[in-house]
Chains A and B, each alone.
Chain A
Amino acid sequence: MELVCPAGNLPSLKAAVDNGADAVYTGFRDDTNARHFAGLNFTAGKLADGIRYAKGKGKRVFIAMNTYPRPDGIARFEEAVDQAAALGVDALICADIGVLDYAARRQPKLNLHLSVQGSATNYEALRYYHEHFGIRRAVLPRVLSMAQIEHVIEQSPVEIEVFGFGSLCVMVEGRCILSSYATGRSPNTYGACSPASHVEWIETDTGLDTRLGGVLIQRHAKGENVGYPTLCKGTYRTDGRTYHAIEDPVSLNAMALLPQLAAAGVAAVKIEGRQRSPVYVKQVTRVWREALDAFARDPEHFAPQAEWTAELAKVSEGAQTTLGPYHRPWQ
C-alpha cells in the first residue's frame, strides 16, 4: 500500500520524503486547490525543487487541482494543468470534469487521479470518470464503510486511495457548502473551508466565543482549550439539547484497519494535512511508515503499537481519534 503524505511547502515535502512517504501531494499557490491558505503551497519554481528532491530519492509527487473553476477561472486552470505537465508531476488530482477533460485531451501523458472532491462514492461514478478521462486512481470520500469500500474496489475500473489519518470531513467532499453559507467561500469555489479571514475570536465575561462569518460556532469557558471554529464541529442546540449536532471535534485514525484495507485491495492510504506544519508531516509520516512496514513484515499479527497511537494523538485535532465512517456505529 502506497503512503501518500501532504506537503504545504518545501520543508514539509522534504520531511515527508525523508520519513518514508512513497508519494507527496502538493498544490499550487492559488485557488486551484482545496487548501488555498495564506502563505501555503508552491510556486512553480519551488515545486520544481520539490520534485527534483523527491525523484532523487525515488519518490513520487502529485499535485492537487481539485476546486471547481467557474467560467472566468477556466483559462487559469488550463494554464495550471499545462504547468503541472511541464513540471513532470507523477499525478494530477482533479475534481471538475471540465478540468479532467482538458487534461486528458491536451496532456495525454499526465497521470490523472480523481480527487476526493469529485464525490465518487460508487463504482458507476468511477466508471464515468474512467471511461471519459482515463483516470487511473480515485480517492474515496470519507463516507463509506469498510464493507462498502470492499464492494467498490471489487467493481472499480481504477485503483482506490482512502484517507487513513487527519482532520475528518463528515460530509461528502465536493458536496458541502456549509462554509459558503456562512462566509461566501467554500472548498469548491475558493479552496478553503471555514476560511480564517472570516473567523472572529471574541472575549466575553465568561470566556471566549469563536464565530465564523458572524455565526457563533463555539462558546468556551475561561481556561478551556480553544479549537478552530470549523462549521461542522460547532456546538449547537436542537430540541433544547446543546451538543455537537453534526460532528465531534475528532480526527480520523484508521491505522487499526490496515489489515482490512489491505485485504480489500486499497492501493494507497492518504494522510490529510497540507495546511499543517513540517513537524506534523514528519511525525505522522514516520509513524505510518513504521506501521506499514510492520504490517508488511508480519500481517497476521499486526496491531497499532501504543507509542504510535500516543504519537498520533499528540497531533490530532481535539486529541481524540475515531475510525470514522469505516466502522459500524456511523452507518
Chain B
Amino acid sequence: MAVGNMTKQVQHHPSYLRVFLTFARNSLVRDMTFRSNFVIEMISSMSWMFMNLGFYILIFSYVDSIGAHTGWGRYQFFVFFATTALTNSLVQSFFMPNAEEFSELIRTGNLDFALLKPIDTQFLVSLHKVHWSGLGNTGFAIGLLAYSLYQLIAGEGLQLTAVQFLLYPLYVGCGVLVLYSLMIGLAASSVWLGRNQSLYNFWFYITNFSRYPMEIFDGPPGYARRWVGRSLRGFFAFVIPVLLAVNIPARMLAKPLDQNNWPLAAFALLATAASLWVSRRIFYWALKSYRSASS
C-alpha cells in the first residue's frame, strides 16, 4: 500500500509554480537572516547603476545624441539604459547565482542530488536560488524608465499606445530568456571543461554587446569599421541573438515609429524560442556526459 502511494506521488507532476514560490520564500528567509548584508549588497549594486548613469550623463553633456540621425537622444537613450538595467537585474536576481552554482555542482559532484529529485533538472538547477537584493536594480530601472518616458511624452510629444506598454514586458521577458539561455549553455559546458572561469567572463563580454543600440555597430563608408560593425551586428542579432535582448523592447518605447521594429520584433520571438531550445539541448547533452565526482 505504502509502495503504491509512493509510486502515485512520484508519477504525480510537481507544481512548478509552487516549487518556485518555495524557492523564492526560502531565499528571502535566508536573505533576511543577514539583513545588513542584504542592504549593503543592494546599495552597492545600485551604486554601480548610478555610476553608469553618471557616465552617460557625462557623455550627453558633450553631445545631443549617440550617433547622428540614429534617434538615440538623451531620454531615448535613458529608456534604452533603463531597459538594459531591467533585463540585467532580472537575470542577476533569478539566474546568475544558480548558473554560478551549477558549474560548482558539476565540479564537486553534488549534481547527483539534483538529478535524483523528481523534477525537471534544468528547472531545479536554474531557479533554486533567488538573489533578492538584485531587485534593487529593477526598482532603479523602473524609476529611470518612468522618468525618461515622462520627459519624452511631456517634452518631445512622444505618443505611446497600450499595445506598446503590453509588448514591452513581453520583450523584456524574451531578452531575459535569451541572456539566460546563453548563460546556462556556457555553465553546462563546464561538464567538459572542469572549470570555466574564462567562460564566465565570456558571458559578460558577449552581453557587453547587448548594452548599446544596434545602430552604433556601423562606420563611415570605405572604413573597416563599417563591415566589422555590420558583421558584429548581424552575428549578435542572428547567430547569438543578445543584441535583440535590449534593443527590441527599448525601441518599442523609445523609437515606436522606426520601420525596422516589426520584422525585428517578430524575429526576436523566434530567436528567443530557438535560444531556449538550443540551450536545453546543450544542458541535457551535458548531463549525459556528466560522470559525477569521486564516490
Same assembly? no
- A residues lining the B interface (CB < 8 Å): none
